[in-house]
Amino acid sequence: MLRLPAFEHLRAESVRDAAGMLADHGGTARLLAGGTDLLAKMKRRQVMPDALVGIGHLAPLREVRVAPSGAAELGAAVTLAEALADRRLAADQPGYLEAVGVVSSPALRNAGTIGGNLCVDTRCNYNDMTEEWRHAVGYCLKTGCGERCQVAASSPRCWAIFSSDTAPMAIALGATVVVWGAEGERELPLGTLYADDGKAHLQLGPAEILTALRLPARRGWRVAYEKLRRRSAVDFPLAGAAVALELDGDVVAACRLVLGAVASHPVELHDVAQALTGRRLDDEAIEEAATAGARLAKPLDNSDLNYVWRKRMVKVILERALRRAAGADRGRLR
Amino acid sequence: MRPPPPWAGRRLGTEPGDGDALSDGFQVVGKALPRLDALGKVTGATRYADDLSWPGTLACVLLRSPHPHARIVAVDTAAAAATKGVVAVLTGADLPVRYGAIATSQDEAALASDKVRYVGEPVVAVAAVDEVTAREATKKIAVDYEVLAPVSSIEQALLAPADEPIHEGTKGNIHRLAALEFGDVDEGFAVADVVREDVFFYEGSNHLAMEEHSATAIFADGQLTLWSSTQAPHNLHRVLAKVLDLPMTRVRVVATPHGGGFGGKVDPAAHEVVVSKLAVLTGRPVKCTLSREEVFYNHRGRHPALMWVRTGAARDGQITAMHFRVALDGGALASLGAATTYYTGALQPATYDIPAYRFEACRVFTNKAPCGPKRGHGTPQPRFALEIHLDKLAEDLGMDPVALRRCNYVRPQSRTVNWLRITSCGIEEVTEKVLAASGFATRSRRVGHGQGFAVSAYLCGAGFPMYPSQLPHSEVGLKVDRGGVTVFCGATDIGQGSDTVLATVVAEELGLDRADVRVVTADTGLTPVDLGSYSSRVTFMAGNAAIDAARKIRTLLLEEAARTSGLLAHELRVGDGRFGPLSFEQAVEAAEERHGALSASGSYAPPPGISGEFRGSAVGPGPAYTYSAAVVDLDADPTTGEVLVHKVWVAHDIGRLLNPVLVRGQMDGNVYMALAEALMESQTYRKDLLHHPSVLEYKTPLATDMPAIEHLYVETIDPEGPYGAKEVGQGPFLPVVPAVVSAIHDALGVWVDEVPVTPEKILRALDARDRGALGRAGPKRFPAVPFPPCIKVEPPHAATARV
Ligand SMILES: Cc1cc2nc3c(=O)[nH]c(=O)nc-3n(C[C@H](O)[C@H](O)[C@H](O)COP(=O)(O)OP(=O)(O)OC[C@H]3O[C@@H](n4cnc5c(N)ncnc54)[C@H](O)[C@@H]3O)c2cc1C
């Protein structure tokens, strides 16, 4: 069995307290929410924080609020299972819950939080390995003393993949997040939380805490999240396609498309969405959008299955998500 | 030649007491009853190897090689040894004696000394007061390696070695070559109307038992005791005596309850040898539990196999000749690979009546974790190739693939071209049942939906042991007295339920309830020898030995009952805790009064004459064969290449159903594991490192991926099996893999001649077809192998072919 390294566990009394603890440790402490991502990485010695600051119990982070309009605010420490069980969210934020529902397995959804899912570390099968394995391969840019990227040897950057299921959908829905830091609270569009760098994918300071996810009212919008994965549970996405659009008759009035697990950050397809807006959502428009969108996905050989196949599938799932949003239901096999 | 001993293949009859008393048929056998250990398993009460601990137990951690192939120049353990809390450090120099699972392949060292041959090979062992201390100390060990070029593939292994070969004394990197010919194959091809050739590849995979290996050793009062999750405690006992230079009388191996074996715990493992040595040196209990990644390094799993097969047939479908070639990637060690090599060719003629058969096999060494025995040992790969090849041959002949197979089926009571003795044989019945239940002939036809059919054969226990000997393969002791009934047997319950089977047959013979029979197994200090849980041998062999022992006590008790009642034994009824007028307890007391202590022993070895007499003839023969057929129903998505299996029908010729609950469980496990190999599992390498050394990355189907399974039983009541029973641990695995691939062809019209079938391979085959090429994905060619000239074996004459 892989064992956890030694660390100090700190129990914060408030968000302010937690931020203080993070600041005191100057970057060597980490927030611990559900721990489903962090603890596994610690067992593999990918991250070795001196201290973990527990925030899962903080009442303000555990609330779900849904306004009469359908707009919702979820505290960062709400578990994925709690979000799924919330009837108000089921009625008013079905797109978000669709993505939440395909995260991993029931056991992990019971522990994992919605905030942890947005902040989840990037993944790479050259890096998500034990210390011994990484030693044998010669380490990489992301952790350890590696001098090069194992998947793209000549590249100066890390290509680890951002594999959250909920982030692409939340971005497609126009979500914002609330971040608490030394200067107080700030609200930012979720998309801007992410940077295109597998090694440092979050634009968060070392003492900043994501406290809430805000989902705007999207009643009447058409939403769909298509997840490509090998098995019917547990697996991270091999690619994800999130679609949120508003139709005016059969013409697209507003639209956001986001791909997941094809890069170090969620890839928002601005131009493709723009090209769709004002158009009739017919077979031809969907096909064109899917083709154009898939062009922006550049999977590498650092995840499961053949990467050429994954690239080809991006078009398929984007097309399927669009078709589903358009009402021409065409589900995948699983 | 000495006459065979009485226990070799003795027929004990197919009903309780072999009809020695009045009978209402079976009382326990055949009933759907839960396993005796079920509650402990589901409540967590069962104590597995890693649950055991003694005060003062030292933790052992192994430092493993980071290189696939390197010479060890120097090992400096001084700093580790000097670390506070470290009690002992071992290197290869401390364990110089080589060992191996089979007598002819003694090429393993518990710790590498001259060089390392695969990533993960153990080099140094540290024993310390706790695991953290031991692990930290391994980081202070300096090993100076001179890196050598690794051999990464079958093709590369067949070339003249660029560097030094992986093992000394081998021809290049070839471990084994075999070439056998039965009958006149050239003539068979010459008279054929149609001849077809195909090439296939079957990827390697790990057993993926849920329980990782664990072992604890104690050396006290001159006796070494090892508790380990081993499938073959007797073999391990022999290996430890050899490596530690202790007499067999000073070593005891206890196999703990298993969280799965599947062949992964048959070979003696490095950590078992190391903790034993450390216990002897330190006088303290020493324990080592492998991590999942270490289990992948220890491996001994399915061999990757490249195969080429050529078959000739007459217009009517009669096979006239077959030529089968295989090249196995053995990884870095021999393991049971010599047997694996022959197994890849042995059972083709056990399903189909092939009049002339040539078999050429080669096993190579590569710098990868060693391959070995995994469920189906060497037969799933050729079964996959053979069944798909026959589907294609049927297409060439314009024949229905089921009809082609049927006109070539072996017959009961016959002798195959390679001298295997077939007795009971339900191949027709399993075919009939599975076709009827699945509606295969009238299946719906739409693009993306398909069904596939395949059949197979497997043996009920290896006819020959892993070391040459004339001794029993299974021995049972039975103690019966005022205090109750205890059965002792070396057999290991690896989760298949063999303890329950032993209790069942003893209860049946003695007219008792299963709960009245205590079972003590798999402890070489307490239990008579059984060779181990492998090759589907335990129910057949230990079951027969247990009946043999129980029958002797039954006879004594019947005598007492007859004497008391003045009736003949044949007039008495045994069962429900009674022997005629006497209760079981009264009968026992009367017998004890007359004879003193009551105990009986039983033995079993396969009968003579079940094999031919040629080099390699020891692999393949068993005392009986089971037959299985499967139909798989699935959807395959032509856009993504994804496959969703809806349902699997498996029909199995079990001989006799001793307990439907156990049989069903084995069939489920077989279907799961076969689907895993057909669609997902692959122990592959990238940059000479394991691609998937964790259970998140190494994909196997989840509970939510499992299709519906319909279990169909055929009872052929084997004349030599315990009450006519055969095996179910491995047989039903075999037809499922080809049935999946055949169903994909049925759905999409393309062949994927390589498992696991991944979505990408399906799309590759579809793309090829769309380009106007052959709609196929798979290996292009079989490599050039320096096979020796075939040993020509005269097939049995028509007269001797009937047995
Ligand atoms: C086997 C397995 C399968 C998985 N499958 C999926 C999947 O299919 N889809 C998917 O999306 N994820 C998957 N995951 C990842 C993970 O379980 C989920 O993303 C989960 O939601 C993470 O939440 P958590 O609360 O457990 O995060 P934690 O592990 O507690 O934290 C994750 C990271 O985020 C940081 N963090 C946590 N909360 C905050 C906060 N409020 N502010 C700032 N930083 C914070 C932590 O410091 C840590 O670095 C899987 C994990 C495993 C082990």
**Contacts of B183 by beta carbon, 8 Å cutoff, 6+ apart:** B321, B355, B356, B357, B417, B795
A30 lines ligand 1 (CB under 6 A): yes
Query: Does position B170 have pLDDT exceeding 90, yes or no?
Result: no
Residues B259 and B46 sit within 8 Å (Cβ to Cβ): no
| Band of residue A333 on the pLDDT scale cut at 50, 70, 90 | very low
The string of DSSP codes covering B244-293 is: HT--GGGEEEEEPPPS--TTTTSS--HHHHHHHHHHHHHSS-EEEE--HH
Residue B800: the pLDDT is 55
Structure-token pair, residue B764: 């590759």
Residue B1: the pLDDT is 59
At B785, which amino acid appears?
Answer: V
Residue with tokens 């044949």: B570
B331 lies in the same domain as B286: no
Residue A330: the pLDDT is 45
Residue B668: the pLDDT is 98
Residue B161: the pLDDT is 86
A122 lines ligand 1 (CB under 6 A): no
**Contacts of B337 by beta carbon, 8 Å cutoff, 6+ apart:** B105, B175, B176, B303, B328, B330, B363, B371, B372
Q: What is the B760 CA–ligand 1 centroid distance (Å)?
A: 29
Query: Does position A329 have pLDDT exceeding 80, yes or no?
Result: no
Contact of A132 with chain B, judged by CB distance below 8 Å, is answered with: yes
B376 lies in the same domain as B515: no
Chain-centroid distance of CA A334 in Å reads 21
Domains: count for chain B:
3
B320 lies in the same domain as B279: no
Q: At what angle do helices A307-326 and B759-770 cross, to 10 degrees?
A: 90
Report which protein residue has its CA nearest ligand 1's atom 33.
A120
Assigned domain for B266 exists = yes
Mean pLDDT along residues A161-178:
98
Residue B162: the pLDDT is 82
Query: Does position B458 have pLDDT exceeding 90, yes or no?
Result: yes
- Between CA B620 and CA B618 the distance in angstroms is 6
B628 lies in the same domain as B503: no
Assigned domain for B155 exists = no
B294 lies in the same domain as B364: no
Chain-centroid distance of CA A210 in Å reads 13
Residues B617 and B611 sit within 8 Å (Cβ to Cβ): yes
| Band of residue A327 on the pLDDT scale cut at 50, 70, 90 | confident
With CB atoms and an 8 Å threshold, state whether B697 touches A136.
no
Residue B582 host element (H or E): strand B582-583
Of the residues B604, B626, B651, which one is the last residue of a structural domain?
B604
A325 lines ligand 1 (CB under 6 A): no
- Domain membership of residue B600 as a residue range: 472-604
B309 lies in the same domain as B264: no
Residue A136 host element (H or E): helix A131-137
Q: What is the A43 CA–ligand 1 centroid distance (Å)?
A: 15
Residues B322 and B354 sit within 8 Å (Cβ to Cβ): yes
| Band of residue B6 on the pLDDT scale cut at 50, 70, 90 | confident
Provide the β-strand partners of residue B90.
B125
Contact of A137 with chain B, judged by CB distance below 8 Å, is answered with: yes
Average pLDDT score, chain A: 95
| Band of residue B631 on the pLDDT scale cut at 50, 70, 90 | very high
Residue B797: the pLDDT is 79
Residue B171: the pLDDT is 82
Mean pLDDT along residues B407-416:
97
B685 lies in the same domain as B722: yes
Assigned domain for B749 exists = yes
How many Cα atoms within 13 Å fall on the side-chain side of residue B791?
13
Residue B10: the pLDDT is 87
- Closest residue on chain A to B634 (Cα): A333
Of the residues B298, B318, B349, which one is the last residue of a structural domain?
B298
- Between CA A103 and CA A234 the distance in angstroms is 7
Mean pLDDT along residues B270-293:
98
Residue B452 host element (H or E): strand B449-459
B666 lies in the same domain as B580: no
With CB atoms and an 8 Å threshold, state whether A132 touches B64.
yes
| Band of residue B445 on the pLDDT scale cut at 50, 70, 90 | confident
Ordered by where they begin, the domains of chain A are: 59-119+161-215 (3.30.465.10), 222-326 (3.30.390.50)
pLDDT in tens, B15-58: 999 999 988 899 999 999 999 999 999 999 999 999 999 999 99
Query: Does position B798 have pLDDT exceeding 80, yes or no?
Result: no
Residue with tokens 């779900």: A64
Burial class from Cβ neighbours inside 10 Å (0-12, 13-18, 19+) for residue A106 reads: exposed
- Closest residue on chain B to A309 (Cα): B760
Query: Does position B225 have pLDDT exceeding 50, yes or no?
Result: yes
Residue A228 host element (H or E): strand A222-228
Mean pLDDT along residues B222-230:
98
Assigned domain for B7 exists = no
CA distances from B364 to B158, B370, B753 (A): 7, 11, 22
Assigned domain for B166 exists = no
- Between CA B603 and CA B188 the distance in angstroms is 44
Would you put residue A61 in left (φ > 0), alpha (ψ -120 to 50) or beta? Answer: alpha
Instruction: Give the CATH number of the domain where residue B212 resides.
Output: 3.90.1170.50
Query: Does position B788 have pLDDT exceeding 50, yes or no?
Result: yes
Residue B163: the pLDDT is 83
Q: Which atom of ligand 1 lies nearest, measured to the CA of A234?
A: 3
Assigned domain for B504 exists = yes
Name the residue among A2, A309, A334 with its Cβ closest to that of B644: A334
**Contacts of B720 by beta carbon, 8 Å cutoff, 6+ apart:** B9, B11, B423, B544, B607, B623, B624
Q: Which residue has the higher pLDDT, B3 or B686?
A: B686
Assigned domain for B236 exists = yes
State the ipTM, two decimals: 0.96
Residues B725 and B734 sit within 8 Å (Cβ to Cβ): no
Mean pLDDT along residues B75-100:
98
B624 lies in the same domain as B755: yes
Residue B98: the pLDDT is 97
pLDDT in tens, A74-118: 999 999 999 999 999 999 999 999 999 999 999 999 999 999 999
The string of DSSP codes covering A106-135 is: HHHHHH-BHHHHHHPPPB-TTTSS-HHHHH
SS (H, E, C) B404-445: HHHCCECCCCEECCCCCEECCCCHHHHHHHHHHHHCHHHCCC
Instruction: Give the CATH number of the domain where residue B762 resides.
Output: 3.30.365.10
Residue B169: the pLDDT is 84
Residue B720: the pLDDT is 97
How many Cα atoms within 13 Å fall on the side-chain side of residue B273?
31
With CB atoms and an 8 Å threshold, state whether A135 touches B644.
no
B659 lies in the same domain as B639: yes
Residues of B at the A interface (Cβ-Cβ below 8 Å)? 64, 66-67, 119, 131-132, 212, 289, 291, 293, 635, 637, 639-644, 680, 687, 689-694, 696-697, 699, 701-702, 704-705, 758-760, 763
B451 lies in the same domain as B343: yes
Of the residues B582, B604, B626, which one is the last residue of a structural domain?
B604
Assigned domain for B59 exists = yes
Query: Does position A242 have pLDDT exceeding 50, yes or no?
Result: yes
B428 lies in the same domain as B324: yes
Name the residue among A130, A132, A306 with its Cβ closest to that of B760: A306
